[in-house]
């Protein structure tokens, strides 16, 4: 199998609304930045992968053909990948497959979403239509509600608190303050977060990511090509993808999927009720595959930073456990101990995550790839005009993309090769 | 007449309407059952898994399931009080979503909980199904109240 | 009230409505230009490619394009007389779609042709743009007639 | 690179409306057939690729999560692929990438569309929304219109006739008469086709594929796994994917992309006006890649049958030329000479194609894979209860999937390895 590298990335500033530009122009801006960063020209790209979430957001079907065209990539191969909130992560996975399979040497993976052409309640309704429209949507189901019920169950089972969720939101806002690409540049206290308007108990507004307009891209290349392009090689050394039932209520209650090196006894206290609605089986499965491939048995110490899909502060906490940054049930303690902070043992979402950067769905998972690449290339200073968010000696990073209540989850391990 | 929201850039209104005729297909019986005040579920004859919402095919082993009538009493597995919703449900706010555990059913069932103050809801509480008389032929034709 | 179309299987009406506020973004000038009875096109300063519809970025080489005013007279490159259409345009039937070639423009431009009998249309025929007075702020604000 | 095989396929009978079953149940029926045909169990599948066209058709977003779940495939990896009419072909391409890259050994590629939940005019409108919604849709653009303008230009440039298009429709109806999975079982004459209601000059109703409800799947496996499963090995020996501009009017006019072994002089008569609106650049590019990989230099004689995307009879004719079954401009003569008929030199659409089988968008490209597999495994008799459509000594087949006016086109070469 051919080894695959990430060689450059580009991103637009995420914004609540960017009516000045069409989606295709946003993609072009991100693409131009990635080309410039790698010193490449249009002709050097031999294929693309496009990601966006839903035709509903703009009423333009086959949008990928419009963007492929606009980027000047015709008649080269392309395809669109979609998987809800995990769309971007799945796009990177498809880009890897494209290069590793030998079909492509240099592949552009780009994604976008323009969520501002409908009002927020309609946007939330569209996203809710990405749950079961026969059984779950008609009762008023929507994603903040689903995640809130998961959070309540986690609190019930493990004693997790709303304050712990709030701490995660504060951490991510604090990080984003130094990220010029982030939609939000605010400073909040834990009390601010707890006192903010309730969306769905126990989730308050600042614990939820926001809709956004934006585009992001990464350029992937075979190892051989990558070596011709950059000295700062970054390899994809592990990939994982897990899935789960569409209806949260259909999740099994059984035994934990074990990660490399784990023994069943570790989770005896869960008494066969995993994942239920409190954890993400798909995330665990994705981590298992990725850790196996990358040779990770002690993620807390072997991973230097992680960009995880924090559509909700509660799901970031749950994800600590799925990724085995801590044991199931210990997510609250993990954040209270300061471990996921920028100066902690394993900085999580040094970029500010979705909560503060925004969540233009098709771009988000790729945004994580861009920020992780810059960490590993040690170019945060160059791209953000400040090294405040540069994780020192970052050699291995994890990116984690996630669709509605964990229906799709991807994990990629990126490693410095220079 | 086109609504214009801005000239620089040019922003216009584009209303769009679709009339779906939606079929519940092989799970029609569940929705028809709500009018009979019954909750029809599925049981897999091969692996024994039970499903509510029902499925024609077992999601665990793939075998064809049989219909059976589930209990209409259960317990709150988890819940949330919603203060925001998708556009279609803004008028209902606030409302309570609840996942209900039933005896003999492997899955938990999403519905609305009414007739109880948010501060009085606890996980584990007993609840029972109520059915709307004037059915809308959708999953909202059933809801739950404290038992 | 829910419309029911069948009970076995259960088939119901599910109307759906969306109010988009659409932005033409960086090509707004084209649509604003239709009100001025002008066709604004793009020219690439790097490779010379010309685009109508216009683009901010050249689709051939990627460079930023400049605006220019295209001729409003051209020739029929190809056409078809439509007797069926998407739902939104059923009331317009039959109508003629035409691709117009313009001098100095590399692309051909899709529009409607009016004022000529279907049997009299030939490829190569000269046509000229007409602009609606009461604009709807969309691509249909321009159409073509025999020159 | 690992070699990839197609080991089995399954399909539902395509129908104008199938309200008895949800999409997920249709997928399950196709999947069960493919499992049974290969003697596999659910546990043998280690990943999936899902294809469907648009969220607009059912108002259920992330439908792929519902089907992945329903098929019992959670928590295994999956992703959804979309690319308009080429969705199914792109799905097979993604499945190949998935297996060839080493991420998967046995991958289910399945697709579906249920187009009957809206009326035909609305369905056509949805498909029209897969053209440029700023410039092309608002003037009344829709796909039959676009293809009709292409056909008119082809007639103008090369003297192609409506009767030649009609012959293609008749051929495909005739073939489908013996295909029990086809939506249409009718016999028509050339005059019937020419006298039928006009959709868009010169395209009459029987020259157009119909909307359909259906599902199809193929199971792909690495060569090593495939050898453990079946003796009747069928390899994917060539893959190609091309793209073109969203707006038909933006297509370049230049020189023909040359296939392996072709010289520029061959197309001197086109005087640099290729493809314009008369031909499909993306199809040509896809053929170039696939022929190069499969070592094809004389497609008419080296390919034993082809299943091509005949959304319109005119586009089948244009495709003969893109694939170099004949020279550009000779498509009409090609059909008049009887070459693409079942008993001709190169049978095209022995299944009946989209025109007669129906076009449930996400399933169509995979349907082609199923029929091609059965040809190469020599199991048409088993699956269709008649060997009438079995191409004798079929050793190498081509499948061709195509999105709106050629925005995406895939070509796969399948070869018998037994
Ligand atoms: Zn079972
Ligand atoms: Zn240029």
**Mutation for testing the A interface, residue in C19, C21, C23 having most A CBs under 10 Å:** C23
**Mutation for testing the D interface, residue in B57, B58, B63, B64 having most D CBs under 10 Å:** B57
Q: Residue range A228-252: average pLDDT? A: 98
CB contact under 8 A, B17 and C17: yes
**Mutation for testing the B interface, residue in A15, A55, A149, A244 having most B CBs under 10 Å:** A149
State residue D1's pLDDT score: 75
B123 touches A at CB < 8 Å: yes
Given a cut of 90, whether residue A339 has pLDDT beyond it is: yes
CB contact under 8 A, B18 and D21: no
CB-based contact A57:A84 (threshold 8 Å): no
Residues near A103 by beta carbon (within 8 Å), at least 6 away in sequence: A47, A77, D93, D96, D97, D100, D239
Contacts of D98 in chain A (CB under 8 A): 97
C85 touches D at CB < 8 Å: yes
| Shortest distance, CA D273 to any CA of chain A (angstroms) | 16
Q: Which chains touch A (3 or more CB pairs under 8 A)?
A: B, C, D
Given a cut of 80, whether residue A71 has pLDDT beyond it is: yes
CB pairs under 8 A between B and C: 96
| Shortest distance, CA B107 to any CA of chain D (angstroms) | 14
Point out the ligand nearest to the CA of residue C51: 2
Chain B, nearest residue to D116 by Cα: B21
Q: Is the overall model pTM greater than 0.90, yes or no?
A: yes
C-alpha C72/C-alpha D410 separation (Å) is: 38
B24 touches D at CB < 8 Å: yes
Residues near A303 by beta carbon (within 8 Å), at least 6 away in sequence: A296, A325, A346, A396, A397, A398, A413
Q: How far is the CA of B59 from the centre of ligand 1 (A)?
A: 7
Residues around ligand 2, an ion, CB closer than 5 A: C 44, 46-47, 49, 58, 60-61, 63
Chain A, nearest residue to C62 by Cα: A72
**Run of H or E residues at D373:** helix D361-377
State residue C1's pLDDT score: 84
Q: Residue range A18-36: average pLDDT? A: 98
Percentage, residues of chain A above pLDDT 70: 100
Q: Residue range A375-399: average pLDDT? A: 98
Nearest to A29 by CA among A105, A102, A110: A110
Contacts of D152 in chain C (CB under 8 A): 78-80, 123
C-alpha C48/C-alpha C65 separation (Å) is: 9
Q: Residue range A332-340: average pLDDT? A: 98
Burial class (CB in 10 A: 0-12, 13-18, 19+), A2: middle
CB contact under 8 A, A122 and C27: no
C-alpha A417/C-alpha A5 separation (Å) is: 9
**Run of H or E residues at D410:** strand D408-416
Contacts of A71 in chain C (CB under 8 A): 62
C-alpha A131/C-alpha A118 separation (Å) is: 19
Tens-digit pLDDT string for chain D (418 aa) = 799 999 999 999 999 999 999 999 999 999 999 999 999 999 999 999 999 999 999 999 999 999 999 999 999 999 999 999 999 999 999 999 999 999 999 999 999 999 999 999 999 999 999 999 999 999 999 999 999 999 999 999 999 999 999 999 999 999 999 999 999 999 999 999 999 999 999 999 999 999 999 999 999 999 999 999 999 999 999 999 999 999 999 999 999 999 999 999 999 999 999 999 999 999 999 999 999 999 999 999 999 999 999 999 999 999 999 999 999 999 999 999 999 999 999 999 999 999 999 999 999 999 999 999 999 999 999 999 999 999 999 999 999 999 999 999 999 999 999 9
Q: A97-109: per-residue pLDDT in tens?
A: 999 999 999 999 9
58-117 of C, contacting B, C-beta below 8 A: none
B89 touches A at CB < 8 Å: yes
CB contact under 8 A, B82 and A140: yes
Q: Residue range B40-46: average pLDDT? A: 98
CB contact under 8 A, B123 and A19: no
**Run of H or E residues at D86:** none
ipTM above 0.95, yes or no: yes
Q: Which chains touch C (3 or more CB pairs under 8 A)?
A: A, B, D
Q: How far is the CA of D227 from the centre of ligand 1 (A)?
A: 29
pLDDT band (50, 70, 90) for residue B1: confident
Q: Which residue has the tokens 């509600």?
A: A145
Chain C, nearest residue to A28 by Cα: C57
Contacts of B1 in chain C (CB under 8 A): 136
pLDDT band (50, 70, 90) for residue A1: confident
Can you list the residues of chain C whose pLDDT is less than 50?
A: none
- The dihedral formed by the CA atoms of A300, A306, A311 and A313, expressed in degrees to the nearest 10: 40
Q: A155-188: per-residue pLDDT in tens?
A: 999 999 999 999 999 999 999 999 999 999 999 9
CB contact under 8 A, B61 and D25: no
Nearest to B57 by CA among A284, A276, D35, D358: D35
CB contact under 8 A, D65 and A1: no
150-179 of A, contacting C, C-beta below 8 A: none
Contacts of D64 in chain A (CB under 8 A): 82-83
């Amino acid at each position: 199998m051919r080894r695959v590298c990430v060689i450059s990335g580009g991103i637009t500033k995420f914004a609540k609304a960017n009516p000045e530009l069409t989606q295709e122009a946003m993609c072009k801006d991100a693409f131009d930045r990635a080309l410039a960063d790698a010193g490449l020209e249009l002709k050097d790209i031999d294929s693309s992968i496009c990601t966006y979430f839903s035709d509903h957001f703009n009423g333009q079907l086959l949008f990928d053909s419009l963007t492929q065209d606009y980027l000047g990539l015709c008649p080269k191969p392309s395809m669109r990948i979609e998987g809800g909130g995990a769309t971007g992560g799945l796009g990177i996975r498809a880009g890897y497959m494209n290069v590793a399979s030998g079909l492509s040497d240099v592949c552009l993976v780009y994604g976008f979403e323009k969520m501002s052409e409908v009002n927020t309640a309609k946007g939330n309704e569209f996203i809710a239509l990405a749950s079961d429209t026969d059984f779950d949507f008609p009762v008023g189901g929507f994603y903040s509600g689903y995640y809130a019920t998961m959070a309540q169950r986690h609190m019930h089972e493990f004693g997790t608190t709303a304050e712990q969720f709030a701490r995660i939101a504060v951490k991510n806002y604090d990080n984003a303050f130094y990220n010029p690409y982030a939609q939000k540049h605010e400073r909040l206290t834990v009390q601010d977060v707890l006192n903010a308007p309730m969306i769905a108990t126990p989730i308050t507004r600042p614990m939820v990511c926001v809709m956004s307009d934006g585009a992001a891209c990464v350029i992937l290349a075979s190892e051989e090509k990558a070596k011709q392009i950059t000295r700062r090689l970054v390899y994809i050394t592990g990939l994982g993808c897990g899935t789960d039932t569409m209806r949260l209520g259909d999740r099994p209650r059984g035994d934990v999927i074990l990660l490399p090196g784990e023994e069943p006894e570790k989770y005896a206290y869960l008494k066969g009720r995993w994942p239920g609605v409190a954890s993400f089986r798909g995330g665990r499965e994705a981590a298992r595959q990725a850790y196996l491939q990358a040779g990770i048995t002690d993620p807390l110490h072997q991973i230097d930073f992680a960009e995880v899909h924090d559509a909700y502060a509660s799901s970031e906490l749950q994800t600590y456990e799925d990724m085995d940054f801590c044991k199931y049930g210990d997510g609250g303690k993990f954040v209270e101990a300061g471990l996921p902070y920028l100066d902690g043992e394993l900085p999580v979402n040094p970029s500010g995550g979705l909560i503060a950067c925004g969540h233009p769905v098709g771009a988000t998972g790729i945004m994580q790839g861009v920020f992780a690449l810059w960490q590993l290339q040690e170019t945060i200073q160059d791209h953000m005009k400040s090294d405040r968010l540069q994780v020192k000696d970052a050699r291995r990073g994890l990116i984690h993309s996630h669709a509605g209540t964990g229906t799709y989850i991807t994990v990629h391990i990126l490693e410095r090769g220079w | 007449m086109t609504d214009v929201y801005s000239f620089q850039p040019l922003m216009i209104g584009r209303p769009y309407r679709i009339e779906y005729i939606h079929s519940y297909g092989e799970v029609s019986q569940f929705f028809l059952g709500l009018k009979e005040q019954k909750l029809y579920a599925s049981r897999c004859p091969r692996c024994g898994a039970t499903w509510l919402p029902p499925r024609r095919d077992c999601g665990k082993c793939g075998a064809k399931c049989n219909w059976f009538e589930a209990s209409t009493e259960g317990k709150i597995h988890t819940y949330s009080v919603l203060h925001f919703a998708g556009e279609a449900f803004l008028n209902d706010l606030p409302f309570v979503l609840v996942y209900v555990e039933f005896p003999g059913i492997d899955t938990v069932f999403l519905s609305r909980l009414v007739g109880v103050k948010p501060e009085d809801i606890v996980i584990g509480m007993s609840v029972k199904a109520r059915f709307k008389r004037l059915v809308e032929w959708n999953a909202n034709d059933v809801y739950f109240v404290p038992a």
